[in-house]
Structure 1
Amino acid sequence: MPRQRIRTTTRGTTDMEVYRKAAEEHFKDGTKIRFLAKKYNVCHVTLYRYIKKIKAGNTSAVVGYRCVNRVFTDNEEKCLQDYLIECSGVYFGLTPSEVRKLAYELAIKNGKTFPEKWHDTQMAGKEWLTGFLKRHPILSLRCPQATSLSRASSFNEHNVSKFFDNLANVMDRYKFEPKDIWNMDETGVTTVQKPSKILAPKGIKQVGAITSAERGRLVTVAVAINAQGGHISPFFVFPLKRYQDHIIREGPVGCAGAGNASGWMQEAEFLLFLEHFKKQVKPTVDQKCLLLLDNHASHISIQALDFCKKNGIVLLSFPPHCTHKLQPLDRAVFGPFKKMINIATDNWMRNHPGRTMTIHYIPGIVREAFPLSVTDRNAIAGFTYTGISPFNRNIFTAVDYAPSSVTDRPLQVNSEIPANNLFTCLDSTSSIQVDSDTPLDNLPTLSDQTVHRTVINDLSNKSYHQRSNSPVPGPSGLQQANFSQPFDFTPKDLRPLPQAGPRTISNKGRKNRKTAILTDTPEKNAIQEEYQKRNKAKKMVLQPDNGNYKRKLISTKGKGKGKKTKKVAKGKENKSDDEDCFCLVCLECFSNSRPNEQWVQCTECKMWSHAECVNDDLNYVCHNCESE
């Protein structure tokens, strides 16, 4: 690194505007130079030289200290700084090496004088980048958060406006108060935590921390909070086919649980969550509540919609791939919750050295972390930052919509787009400006055109600017207002912002969802038709069994050809009770086992458990022996 000269005086750092005012007063009133130098607190010799240059006809004269070895001028570096800020705003930021390559290309294209070593590496030096960052402290090296292309393109002004339209509709219809507005979502808690930062000596290449295993098992935890700061007890979904209530005995007070083969939330488990939600919130048909949730397939079933409509729960779904900005739980609760989970798991590993954590200990971990993270303050902040409560549909600015603009994926014109969302309609030959006050009946026919959202993004002041007409729209629609271009070849000329083509429309796979009031009759009927069409050959029916919903697969093929019955293993019914044993996990007796079901024996106490309940561990040690 080169030596950095530290200035000991402030000479030569006076703003040129001071010299300009002094020179104007000298030419206008004939004031002496020494008097003006004392008045404006500048050097009289420097002021004399500046006035002399002005008299010689040099209107752009400058005086004072300036670096003579700089590759780019202040205006050129300001242009490069604005370009880097714009790239980071659209989630295509440049790495330090890419910035150095860009600086080298700019110097070559604009005929700048630069060190010879730049030719050897085909990029600017590290010293130049260090000085550039010091001269522009607004820039810093940041670690970006991974954001999928679906999230970047889906979070656009049209989708967000549609969600707030639906939210305003239900709030005006039912007059919901903050205590009646709830948000529900699931998150995964695994037995292998992310270790917290620790203090360690310098010079060691690798610092380790103990975790339970290489790969852990995941338990889904469903959480619900309301806009007044309240919450309900969590709901667990374990990866166990034989779930028993005693598994959550160490969990938070009032919690509930269920189990399935995968451990993910499915239709049957979501119905159980709704019963758990109804038990604690106590909504009625006369006193309804609003439940905000995503468009996961488990949340959209006929049984769930019937249950919600019967018990006064209004369901409103978020737009797809927009929960990272619109969901209060993602904005303010799940981050602290995961951090507290990791801390609680670290403490468990320190208090139980040499032992492996299983999913049976997760309820106790959640009980320790839940009250520290799911607080009233975090819940209220989540609803405030998303504009849900207090209601604020203008909470997001052009900076938030910038990533969706760079994809250049237009929305098709249809009757669902209100007039205030149509900013500029462009085709290949003309540009039609649409005023927000123009009624829909007076709009021109645009059946073969596409709507481009052309909100101009100024990342410095986060304001909207009107876009100038151009024969070819830019890839992102983001341009700086009054943007000076001191370069002959600007950074955008050398590295244009990335541009994605239009989406390919496909009828395969899952249906693309949108934000909707799921419990409204038209939307519910449409979901029911889709559900029946999808399950025409085989349909899954959820039937209650002793208060719990169980899946029953009914096949519509081959009816009337006879039913196949399962063979019952011989000798099972003749086994005496004293010879029977019980699973240590689910407490089910051996006589009720399914045919060819595997059991494993504890190596310490020689007791038995289902292989499904203990993940088929060959060296199985039960939790009773582990605790001893």
Structure 2
Amino acid sequence: MDETGLQLNNKPGYVIAKKGSKNVAALTSSEKGETVTVLSCSNAEGAFLPPCLIFKGKNKKQEFEDGMPPGSKLYMNAKSAYVNTDIFLDWLKTHFVPRKPQGPVVLFLDGHSCHCNSVEMLEYAEANDITLLCFPSHTTQFLQPLDRSFFKSLKSHYNSVCNTFVKTNPTKKINRLSFGKLFDDAWSKSATVENGKGGFKACGLYPFNPSAIPEYAFLTECAFSHSQEEHSTLDKRVLPNHSLSPLPSTSAEEKNITPGTLLEQITPVPSTSSADQVRKRAKQVAMELTSPDHIEKRRKKEEEKATKEVKKTVKAEKRANKENSIKLIKKVDLENAKKRSSLSRKLVEASSSEDSDTNISLSDHSSDDIDENDNAEYAGCGEPYTTTKKQDDWIQCVHCTEWFHEGYSKYINLCHGCGKVLSKTRN
């Protein structure tokens, strides 16, 4: 199985015109076109499963499936038109397994993340006798049967039917509603037994034939070292003492050396040691995705990822709660400050409107009004502000302008003595 993309537009291709013509026109779509993913699957007998298509969006309309090949299924992906883990798992459950023959089967696929990372998908495949075999990295152009014999034919026929549609319907454009019929015409011409069998044969998968892969597809460190040894030997034979020009010789072997060979020796191909290191780090062998070791490895990675997400969420919640607490404290402090300023203004206005006899200062407080405890609270702790060890805030009385600890008075913006005297005066 593999995926490919089709565009909701046409490619005009070549136009036949007279040589030297200044005006050569072709009818084409004015827009780039929307991408539609086609998920295809075939076996070595040349039989194709009905295709599955993926549109970008959330709302699926029944009209989108009009005209599609029988048995086709349409998926909607909100983020993009590409396949994801959920779509691939649903494809296995509802599309592949019901059509799977009895007994174990091998499903070849590439190393896309949606094919390899879901533990649920791997366990489901193992439970249904499906062995998922992943191709090595960067080798699908040689090992993927659908890439070798089917997708080019599908796109070629699809572009052909799209060009015909645009020419016969110049006032219409290719959209989701007309895509089904166009795709059905292209699919019926491409999904043939010859194309299905030809892909497996060209890749050497069935019949098994390792020699079907050309030699130039294998790029190894041994090949590089062997090539470098040949070049060094040729250097010594053709260019003795590393001279830039060959010495005169009459031997038949040196007469057959071409200018291209000499140029290659003068300017050798740069070393590819860095590329070799990258290839060693990448996956270079086929992998059985449904093996117990791989499933356990994926399960551990998912657990680690879930743990990190939980820690990240808890940390974000703590940060949000702290920010909310700070905002709430600031809001309460602001409201209290407003209440204090309002009450202090009222007390000042009331004290200024009273008779001068009742407007007394702190030095005029009588012993009847203030007892020793009140004087002690009013006088404060007696410590200077710079050496005090109390953690309470210092507040200045709006009446007597003396400083005191906030906890020493129950009145707002007033020391205990002034507050008590003023409250008795008002009463």
CA distance in 1, matches of 2:282, 2:263: 41
CA distance in 2, matches of 1:210, 1:220: 25
2:109 to 293, 298, 302: 293
CA distance in 2, matches of 1:486, 1:511: 38
Residue equivalent to 1:500: 272
CA distance in 2, matches of 1:351, 1:344: 11
* Paired residue secondary structure (1:490): helix
Q: Deviations over 1:56-103 (max 9, x none)?
A: xxxxxxxxxxxxxxxxxxxxxxxxxxxxxxxxxxxxxxxxxxxxxxxx
2:257 to 476, 485, 506: 485
Is 2:64–2:176's contact at 8 Å kept on the other side of the alignment?
Answer: no
- TM-score, normalising length: structure 1: 0.43
Deviation of the 1:532 alpha carbon: 2.9
CA distance in 2, matches of 1:455, 1:373: 44
Is 2:157–2:189's contact at 8 Å kept on the other side of the alignment?
Answer: yes
Which of 1 and 2 has greater Rg?
A: 2
How many residues align? The count is 300
Is 1:232–1:280's contact at 8 Å kept on the other side of the alignment?
Answer: no
1:366/1:487 CA distance change after superposition, 3 Å: closer
Is 1:218–1:359's contact at 8 Å kept on the other side of the alignment?
Answer: no
Is 1:537–1:557's contact at 8 Å kept on the other side of the alignment?
Answer: no
2:43 is the counterpart of 1:271: no
CA distance in 2, matches of 1:519, 1:258: 25
* Paired residue secondary structure (1:536): helix
* Aligned 1:85-484 pairs, distance under 5 A: 184-205=1-22, 207-261=24-78, 262-284=80-102, 287-300=103-116, 301-401=118-218, 404=219, 410=221, 452-453=222-223, 484=256
Higher share in helix: 2
Tell me which amino acid in the other structure corresponds to 1:216: G
CA distance in 1, matches of 2:89, 2:312: 22
Is 1:295–1:513's contact at 8 Å kept on the other side of the alignment?
Answer: no
* Aligned 1:472-551 pairs, distance under 5 A: 484-485=256-257, 490-503=262-275, 515-538=286-309
Which segment drifts farther, 345-354 or 314-323?
Answer: 345-354
* Paired residue secondary structure (1:188): strand
CA distance in 2, matches of 1:340, 1:487: 45
Is 1:383–1:389's contact at 8 Å kept on the other side of the alignment?
Answer: yes
Deviation of the 1:194 alpha carbon: 1.8
CA distance in 2, matches of 1:536, 1:367: 46
Is 1:212–1:355's contact at 8 Å kept on the other side of the alignment?
Answer: no
CA distance in 1, matches of 2:4, 2:163: 19
Deviation of the 1:498 alpha carbon: 4.3
Deviation of the 1:196 alpha carbon: 3.1
Deviation of the 1:185 alpha carbon: 0.4
Is 1:283–1:311's contact at 8 Å kept on the other side of the alignment?
Answer: no
Note the aligned Cα RMSD (angstroms): 3.6
Deviation of the 1:535 alpha carbon: 4.2
* Aligned 1:7-86 pairs, distance under 5 A: none
Is 1:237–1:259's contact at 8 Å kept on the other side of the alignment?
Answer: yes
CA distance in 2, matches of 1:535, 1:348: 50
* Paired residue secondary structure (1:221): strand
1:489/1:198 CA distance change after superposition, 3 Å: closer
Deviation of the 1:321 alpha carbon: 1.1
Tell me which amino acid in the other structure corresponds to 1:233: P
Residue equivalent to 1:557: 314
Is 1:256–1:276's contact at 8 Å kept on the other side of the alignment?
Answer: no
Deviation of the 1:314 alpha carbon: 1.1
1:456/1:373 CA distance change after superposition, 3 Å: farther
CA distance in 1, matches of 2:185, 2:17: 27
Gap regions ≥5 residues in structure 1: 1-183, 411-451, 458-465, 475-481, 540-553, 565-628
Deviation of the 1:230 alpha carbon: 0.4
1:378/1:560 CA distance change after superposition, 3 Å: same
Deviation of the 1:537 alpha carbon: 3.1
1:521/1:488 CA distance change after superposition, 3 Å: closer
- TM-score, normalising length: structure 2: 0.62
Deviation of the 1:279 alpha carbon: 4.8
Q: State the identity as a percent.
A: 27
Tell me which amino acid in the other structure corresponds to 2:114: S
Tell me which amino acid in the other structure corresponds to 1:267: T
CA distance in 1, matches of 2:209, 2:260: 44
Deviation of the 1:514 alpha carbon: 5.1
Tell me which amino acid in the other structure corresponds to 1:298: C
1:353/1:397 CA distance change after superposition, 3 Å: closer
Is 2:56–2:77's contact at 8 Å kept on the other side of the alignment?
Answer: yes
